[in-house]
Chains A and B, each alone.
Chain A
Amino acid sequence: MWLEDIESNMNNTKIVQASLKKRYAKERRFKAYGIFSISLSLLFLSFLLFDITHKAMPAFTQTYLKLDIDFSYKNLKLKEGSRYSEKELFSASYRQLTSKSLYEIFPEVTNRKDKKVLRNFVSSGAQYNLRDLVIENPSLIGTKKSIWVLADDDIDSFAKGLIDRNLPESERRIKDNQLVWIDTLEADNRIEKRLNIGFLTQGDSREPEQAGIWGAIKGSFFTMLITLILSFPIGVAAAVYLEEFAPKNNWFVDLIEVNINNLAAVPSVVFGILGLAVYINLFGLPRSAPLVGGLVLFLMTLPTIIIATRAAIKSVPPSIREAALGVGASKMQMISHHVLPLAMPGILTGSIIGMAQALGESAPLLMIGMVAFVADIPQGFMDPSTVLPVQIFIWSDSPERAFIALTSAAIVVLLIFLFLMNLLAIILRKKFETRW
């Protein structure tokens, strides 16, 4: 009997040993799947970031043309005299200054159609820059000076190498005659690329070379301010109530808790519908205002802050509470003097993450009208404005090629803001992390 046992045991060992190789291979394969799926996600992330920064690069520079501007009385349509009021200077004619200068460089262009194409080498915003220049320095009038003016977005794209000159003419936005002119200008050293400061200081524009994100940044700032002012105190207060004062096994408290958990998972468009129906239609608040945007994002951020605050309050050890109560503090004093200060790093971290989410949110804001084209920089909570993510959405819809770079650049700016906010949250967590 025992001999058979040994034999069957040896058989079993053999079977196991025979299958071992296969099982180990399976093990290695499984491990490889794990590494593969993680690297795939990492690859996607790096591709996303690389692609967007790569596309954004052209937006950080801008092409300028050097033109010899003749500020003669005739060109400015001013009466010859010695002094002009600012109003006179403001209404003088600056439109033809750049065109005339271009015609001078290319005297061979006489055809009306060609002249129009040539005239459009310069951005339509250049005349306002010239106007500002003259108002600032009226002594320019009557003189001739070479000045760098902003180029049109097509010329800009070409100078940055985004338009391939080897394509057949019909598929190219820059035609053959324009190519010749650009080459001439280039040979004369009249084309230069400079840092695009206007991108960070100007409002939106229909012309890509004049469009900037300052308006959207300010809109985002006002919206976030409203969100923060409302959601932080209210969220913390609600969390304190639920953690410290709410009676257990009470249907009303349960209802509140269920509501908070569900609100955290409600799609953001639904909050947009709420904003539209309640804030705009019922309360009659204005469309496109940062106030309404902030009110909508407040409701969206509230559950995040409540949940984070509750977790932070929960992590304060009972010994501290008991010590406070033991020396005679009331419950409210215990909370405001001991629990909340100790939980504050956790609360702040959660709130910053909630605010970062709100800063990147766009869908509900589309519905309360923040998607409108706003060229002015908003000055207050009631001014029509847009926010950074919505500005990205608006630009990504624009047909002009140059808007791709602008959109990507705006994304880079938004991501930098988000990165800084998250970094702040991480630093707070690391610095004030207490192990009880």
Chain B
Amino acid sequence: MSDLNLFSVLILSALIVFFLSQKKAKNWQTSAGSERVHSLPVYYGYFGSIWTVIPALFVFAFWSFFSTNVISTMVVGQFVELQALDKSSLSLALNEIYLMSDASIVPSLSDNTIKAQAANLFMQYSQYSAIFKSITVLAIAALGFILTYWRITPTTKARNSVENIVVYALLSCAVIAILTTAGIIFSVLLESIEFFKTIPVSDFLFGTHWSPQIALREDQAGSSGAFGAVPLFWGTIFISLIAIIIAGPLGLISAIYLSEYASKRVRSIVKPVLEILAGVPTVVYGFFAALTIGPLVRDFGYWLREMGVNLDIQILANLTVSTESALAAGLVMGMMIVPFILSLSDDVIAAVPDSMRDGSTAMGATKSETVWKVIIPAALPGIVGGFLLAISRAIGETMIVLMAAGVASNLTANPMNSVTTVTTQIVTLLTGDQEFDSVKTLAAFALGLGLFITTLVLNIIALHVVRRYREQYE
């Protein structure tokens, strides 16, 4: 029986058992002189179908998940030739075997290669496995049905039982959050350890040369590639810095204006409009940065250079200018972050108690003096927390830098030059078909680990600061 059929049978039997059990409970209610029934009939229905189907479904999922691995181990055990292979060539051979058996190209008996035999055996075992799986799953379902249907009585606490199971189901949904984090850590950590076996941690953290090209031949010059991540860290920090320098003042001052000066009507219009900026997909910003802002910045750079030549300023005259620049990416990223800082600052400014404002006003301070000398000092921890969250956002941003900042790793302080970032390198190293265990691919996982840890730490600090601040005024 195919998996889909088996699944449909299970679902169908769940429905049938539901109605059977419900009917039974209804009969208790209507039969005269009967004792009081503990739960509503519908709960007996749920009770019956849960115990019929859920254990069977678990076995079904478990079996399906592990059967391929178990069968391949069994197949490999039958052939000495396959056992002799090392890990990577074994997985290649197994893949071939899967393909052969999957395509149902029954290898003719004359085809006596090991792989054909193995594929044949694999197919045979898979058929057995499918039959046994169907039998086991259906048997467990039947057993569940027998155990529940004939044993439910009017005193069975069906509702409590069902509700308990539902609570566990809800809990398992919440646990997915932990599983996700575990999955992230598992996937980046394992590969990173693998990476750091070939490239020492110190070379990665402090090396200043990054060129992860793949060698076409073993003896090619520079075939090992260089994995010094300092240029990437610098590029990331540089662009985030530009972004926060733009977004910080803009967002903060806008928030102050909207919460302290603007009328209610202006506020109710301007705030949602500015929040559109936060809803625009990053790929759109990337396109805009690369095609519109990038050339503008480049032209500005040329103009600066000309000025430098005319006025004889050495620094400007030697300026390197490129279309893909840190400034273009940082500018656009800054505009993207503005609504983020705006709403976070708005929250903390609103949390400053009115008594402090009134006190300051009563002392004769103007509004701006109140803002600078009372509100901002009081709200400072919250504002700093908001800025930290914004920085962590900027560090993790991918599409803008990928499209507008370039992939050349430059260790430069010139905002007109192109730089590359951690996220850009992760994407460029992992897109396309690569061998999963090449150093180049592993490097992306090491970068991912660094990125994950950095943003995690920033977020924890920021959330902690903001929460402490909120408690202060509550």
Contacts and interface: CB of A to CB of B under 8 A. Distances in A.
B263 interface: no
Given A31-B368, A240-B170, A415-B280, A273 B448 contact: yes
A418 B250 CA distance: 26
A55 B389 CA distance: 34
Interface in B182-212: 183-184, 186-188, 191
B287 A330 contact: no
A260 B180 CA distance: 9
A415 B283 CA distance: 11
Interface stretch (A113-121, A159-167, A206-214, A356-364): A356-364
Contact of B287 (A233, A306, A392): A392
Contacts of A260: 177
B373 interface: no
Interface residues of B, number: 84
Contacts of A415: 280, 284
B460 interface: yes
Nearest to B292: A51
**Chain A contact patch, size range:** 35 or more
A77 interface: no
Given A238-B174, A302-B176, A42 B280 contact: no
B430 A367 contact: yes
Contacts of B430: 272-273, 276, 367
Q: SS class of chain A's interface: helix, strand, loop or mixed?
A: helix
B180 A299 contact: yes
A394 to B, nearest CB: 10
A23 B369 CA distance: 9
Interface string A26-39: 11001101110110
B396 A266 contact: yes
A38 B257 contact: yes
B78 to A, nearest CB: 23
Contacts, number: 238
A265 B273 contact: no
Interface string A213-257: 000000000000000000001110110111001100000000110
B249 interface: yes
Given A237-B173, A259-B181, A392 B367 contact: no
B52 interface: no
Of the listed residues A265, A356, A371, the one surrounded by the most CB atoms of chain B closer than 10 A to its CB is: A265
Nearest to A414: B281
A16 B363 CA distance: 12
B399 A418 contact: no
A11 interface: no
B431 A267 contact: no
Contact of B274 (A41, A256, A263, A306): A41
Given A363-B282, A422-B279, A393 B171 contact: no
Nearest to A230: B176
A428 interface: no
Contacts of A38: 254, 257-258, 270, 274
11 contacts: A27-B369, A34-B254, A37-B253, A265-B393, A267-B395, A270-B452, A272-B426, A273-B444, A274-B184, A276-B187, A393-B399
Shortest Cβ-Cβ A-B pairs, 9 listed: A267-B396, A34-B257, A360-B281, A277-B187, A241-B170, A237-B173, A363-B398, A30-B368, A238-B174
Interface of B: 159, 163, 166-167, 169-171, 173-178, 180-181, 183-184, 186-188, 191, 249-250, 253-254, 256-258, 261-262, 270, 273-274, 276-277, 279-288, 290-292, 335, 338-339, 364, 366-369, 371, 389, 392-393, 395-399, 402-403, 423, 426-427, 430-431, 433, 436, 444-445, 448, 451-452, 455-456, 459-460, 463
Given A256-B174, A267-B452, A422-B279, 10 more contacts: A34-B257, A40-B250, A42-B274, A241-B171, A242-B174, A245-B167, A273-B444, A276-B430, A392-B283, A414-B284
